[in-house]
Amino acid sequence: MKKKIIIILIAIVVLIQFYPMEKPTVTIDNPNDLLVTSKVPENISKLLKNACYDCHSNESIFPWYSNVAPVKWMLYDHISEAREELNFSNWNSLETDDKADILDDISSMVLEGEMPIKGYTILHSEANLSEADRELIATWADEMLDLIYE
């Protein structure tokens, strides 16, 4: 009986792998990327790369488990949604007002501890931001917001 259940479970896991789902595309060369087009201090760019770029850029890195259903259903969705809200790879093609809105959001989301989303940091310890890191990102975003309208 136990054996039967295990075989059925394995069969389900194998079968769900065939459910079609489009993987978010990955491009490494992004001429409009924030870090390419703006002067971002090294420490900030490192924090953004480590804690945000997997979801909010075209440079997402997909570890093996991220391509296995059912994990991939959630991850692919998260990444597509995250890129829709904010994609650092398209930064320079955004309107000034949109950039301003996003910088304002970045500052508050990071200070309130809402980003990076919980769960991500369990498997990505480098994305675990300290209070000081959060302050650094927020201050940078606020300063950049001031500069945008100059």
**How far from each other are the two terminal CA atoms of the chain, in whole angstroms?**
72
CB of residue 120 to ligand HEC, shortest distance in Å: 4
In the bound state with ligand HEC, the residue whose beta carbon lies nearer, of 8 and 71, is 71
Nearest to 17 by CA among 85, 64, 81, 51: 64
**Residues that bind ligand HEC in the complex, under the rule CB under 6 A:** 51-52, 54-56, 78, 81-82, 85-86, 102, 105-106, 109-110, 115-117, 120, 127
In the bound state with ligand HEC, the residue whose beta carbon lies nearer, of 11 and 110, is 110
CB of residue 69 to ligand HEC, shortest distance in Å: 18
CB of residue 138 to ligand HEC, shortest distance in Å: 9
In the bound state with ligand HEC, the residue whose beta carbon lies nearer, of 69 and 78, is 78
In the bound state with ligand HEC, the residue whose beta carbon lies nearer, of 12 and 147, is 147
- The total number of residues shown for the chain amounts to 150
Measured torsion, CA atoms of residues 111, 58, 68, 16, in degrees rounded to the nearest 10 = 110
CB of residue 35 to ligand HEC, shortest distance in Å: 13
The residue type of 120 is Y
Q: Is 123 exposed, middle or buried (0-12, 13-18, 19+ CB in 10 A)?
A: exposed
Per DSSP, the chain holds a count of helices (H) and strands (E) of 7, 0
